[in-house]
């Protein structure tokens, strides 16, 4: 009797392959399932965000010091002409616009035991649901807080998600955030005495390099201040990280959060 393919079979394949995760590659390396059987399975089966949560919930080890990480990736489908979800979009991995499927992910991190789990995802398909990647991230954040009720202290985000709406939403939930700012983001570190300028054109004192500096991001409420850190990742790369953690001793917490964000 022929074996019936299940989600477990397909997930085990995805866990074991590092580069090529295509249907053809799976069939070439499987003694149980033919190309046609895998194709029918992928056509008919749907692995929903709820299924992800149902499978991972019992494995989570919670921490009040935990993080949520929001990120997105583009699955390269440059040679596809018929897959409905494929659209032209910018890929940070390819550093250019490609044909692919956009996926927004939410990862839970327990820094005390150095482990992390995928807990939610959304497919980027604006032609179907009309939602942007930012709106998907917002939906997953509210779901994690109100529905899943996951304990965590802060959210780690890339520059794409460092928007006024999301940052103020996080603050309204009484959570911290650590997110990268683009080099051309307009900020003010003079308390309103000077014009806004690019974040990468700011002058830094020795004390500010160590403890960060208080700034206002253009477009935010007048009295809204955040703390900015200049982080030298390598001799060829400098990141600017902003946080609503205004404590003087927030330097160590910021650098620790950045290390987890870069790793994952």
| pLDDT tens-digit series, residues 232-246 | 888 888 889 999 998
Under DSSP, the state recorded for 219 is T
Q: Name residues whose C-beta falls within 8 Å of residue 154's C-beta, 6 or more positions apart in sequence.
A: 67, 68, 175, 176, 177, 178, 245, 257
- Buried b vs exposed e over 138-148: b needs ≥16 C-beta within 10 Å? bbbbebbbeee
pLDDT in tens, 171-220: 999 999 999 999 999 999 999 999 999 999 999 999 999 999 999 999 99
This prediction's pTM = 0.85
| 121 in Cβ contact with 52 (< 8 Å) | yes
Phi, psi of 39, rounded to the nearest 5 degrees: -60, -45
What pLDDT, on a 0 to 100 scale, did the predictor assign at position 255?
76
Confidence at 62, pLDDT banded by 50, 70, 90? very high
Residue 225 to residues 44, 190, 199, 222: CA-CA distances in angstroms?
A: 50, 12, 14, 8
Q: Any idea where the domains of the chain sit in the sequence? A: 1-45, 48-152, 173-264
Instruction: Answer whether residue 261 shows pLDDT above 80.
Output: no
- Backbone conformation region of residue 247, classed left if phi is above 0, alpha if psi is from -120 to 50, else beta: beta
Instruction: Quote the pLDDT of residue 264.
Output: 63
Length of the chain: 264
- Kindly report, residue by residue over 71-93, the tens digit of the pLDDT: 988 888 877 777 778 888 877 77
CA distance 82 to 157: 33
Going by C-beta distance under 8 Å and a sequence separation of 6 or more, which residues neighbour residue 98?
74, 76, 78, 88, 89, 90, 91
pLDDT at residue 16, rounded to an integer: 82
């Amino acid at each position: 009797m022929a074996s019936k393919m299940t989600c477990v079979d397909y997930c085990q394949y995805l866990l074991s392959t590092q580069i090529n995760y295509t249907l053809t590659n799976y069939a070439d390396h499987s003694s149980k399932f033919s190309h046609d059987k895998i194709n029918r399975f992928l056509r008919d089966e749907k692995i929903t965000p709820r299924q992800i949560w149902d499978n991972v919930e019992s494995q989570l080890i919670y921490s009040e010091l935990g993080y949520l990480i929001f990120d997105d990736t583009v699955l390269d489908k440059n040679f596809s002409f018929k897959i409905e979800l494929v659209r032209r979009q910018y890929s940070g991995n390819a550093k250019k616009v490609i044909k692919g499927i956009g996926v927004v992910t939410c990862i839970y991190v327990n820094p005390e035991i150095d482990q992390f789990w995928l807990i939610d995802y959304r497919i980027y398909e604006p032609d179907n649901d009309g939602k942007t990647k930012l709106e998907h991230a917002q939906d997953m954040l509210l779901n994690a807080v109100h529905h899943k009720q996951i304990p965590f202290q802060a959210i780690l985000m890339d520059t794409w998600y460092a928007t006024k709406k999301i940052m103020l939403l996080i603050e309204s939930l009484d959570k911290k955030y650590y997110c990268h700012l683009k080099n051309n983001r307009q900020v003010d570190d003079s308390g309103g005495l000077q014009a806004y300028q690019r974040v990468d054109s700011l002058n830094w004192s020795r004390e500010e390099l160590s403890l960060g500096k208080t700034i206002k991001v253009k477009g935010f409420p007048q009295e809204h201040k955040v703390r900015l850190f200049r982080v030298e990742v390598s001799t060829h790369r400098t990141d600017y990280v902003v946080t609503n953690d205004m404590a003087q001793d927030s330097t160590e917490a910021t650098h620790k959060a950045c290390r987890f964000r870069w790793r994952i």
